[in-house]
Structure 1
Amino acid sequence: MPDAPARLLVVLDADSTLIRNEVIELIADEAGRGPEVAAATEAAMRGEVDFATSLRSRVRELAGVPVASFARVLSRIEPTPGVRELIDAVHARGGQVGVVSGGFHEILDTVAASLGVDVWRANRLAVEGAGDGAQVLSGVVDGDIVDAEGKAAALVEWAELAGVPLRRTIAIGDGANDLRMMERAGLGIAFNAKPTVRAQADIVVGRVDLSEVIPLLP
């Protein structure tokens, strides 16, 4: 982030917010385990199970997926309608855009950069060598998991780095894992969200178009 203070900070979740997809489900498709992982993801987003425990179990299902398949996953990513307009509007107001995800750097590093996001954070997937010399997923998360507390901490950290008071921060998410960062932000927006998130958000945006957030920018 730049040295000069930003006027505002908008932090988005990635899967089903910044993009239309759930990346772990796309990777699971490469392993032929899409339906099982999709069901576990849905339960985690509703807050029915602990996110970190759920993520570890879902990532185990990805063991053996070739790292080379990430190119196919990236080709299936669909940015959410209005996302570029929202990012441009934040920048035009002298603001910064962050993305914090329970998903994976292996995909987000490309997607966030291509959309003009200023800073992002996600989980990493451990890899190991296959018999043919190729790299495959080992089925474990590499390092600490970005969970609800991790998302809230990222918002606070980025606000401090950008010189933005928390009252001028906006957090946008869809799942239970986003609630703590939405609570810490000056404004918490439920976007395309699960019922528990809509019930606790400051504002609910039902239409799947991030440009709907632009009138709410300070």
Structure 2
Amino acid sequence: MNSQALAPGLYVRGLTPPLRLADFRLVAFDMDSTLINIECVDEIAEAAGRKAEVAAITEAAMRGEITDFKDSLRRRVALLAGVPVTAMEEVYARHLQLNPGVEAFVQACQAAGLKTLLVSGGFTFFSDRVRQRLGLDFARANVLEIEDGRLTGRLVDRPWGDIVDGAEKRRVVLEVCELMGVEPAQAIAVGDGANDLPMMQVAGLSVAFHAKPAVREQAMVSIESGGMDRLLQLLT
């Protein structure tokens, strides 16, 4: 990566800091391993005794080694069949935490007048709670099908499509920009996995947060140690 170390664990590429946070109008976040500390699908799989199997697929997908994200997600969700909703509630209560610096950075964006978007290949069971917790403006994620208090191993089709993959993340960012009447260049996109690259590529500022190598190599900013609030060292 042709990048400059602004500080230990903070790299920039093709940028001359500082930038004005108020010059941006939208910030879009991935959820799993970006806003929060876990991959929710992996933690749910533990209740089914399939965590190692599911986590291996997740890791390969996030590294870009599995290019069909939709297929990889369907495979993982199918392995969750029979898991009770109470297991997801336990994941949220016992395992899910906001990543360091997330609250501070989100609050700084809100104070500067940016709209906030969570766009996730994960699940609304968690994204709805994270959205409420952080006071985010918009969210899109996948819906797990539940019958009789247990997961069926399927996803629920939505009016916009079936699965939030990289292409859908990109489309949502562009759609929200259009609805707001702003240019994609006025958007910030923050993610960690290969399925975040499409939205990062259309944003004016792309940020890799403790990301996979392929994502670090393409992002304008890479935070490799410390919290998300380290972005405020670049954005005044």
For normalisation by structure 2, the TM-score amounts to: 0.84
Query: 2: distance between equivalents of 1:9 and 1:214?
Result: 15
CA RMSD of aligned residues (A): 1.4
1:3 aligns with none
Gaps of 5+ in 1: 1-5, 130-134
2:101 aligns with 82
Query: 1: distance between equivalents of 2:107 and 2:147?
Result: 39
User: How do 1:101-180 and structure 2 match up within 5 A?
Assistant: 101-129=120-148, 135-143=149-157, 144-180=162-198
SS at match of 1:72: helix
Look up the equivalent residue of 1:40 and give its one-letter code: I
| Post-superposition CA distance 1:75-112 (Å, at most 9, x none) | 11010101110111001111111110000001110122
- Give the CA deviation at 1:7: 5.2
Query: 1: distance between equivalents of 2:39 and 2:204?
Result: 27
Of all paired residues, the percent bearing the same amino acid is 47
User: How do 1:31-46 and structure 2 match up within 5 A?
Assistant: 31-46=48-63
Out of 16, 19, 28, the position equivalent to 2:33 is 16
Look up the equivalent residue of 2:211 and give its one-letter code: A
For normalisation by structure 1, the TM-score amounts to: 0.91
Look up the equivalent residue of 2:113 and give its one-letter code: G
Task: Give the direction of change, closer, same or farther, for the CA distance of 1:180–1:57 in structure 2 (3 Å limit).
Answer: same
Gaps of 5+ in 2: 1-22
Look up the equivalent residue of 1:140 and give its one-letter code: R
Query: 1: distance between equivalents of 2:197 and 2:166?
Result: 7
Aligned residue pairs, count: 208
1:63 aligns with 2:77: no
Query: 2: distance between equivalents of 1:97 and 1:19?
Result: 15
1:181 aligns with 199
SS at match of 1:21: coil
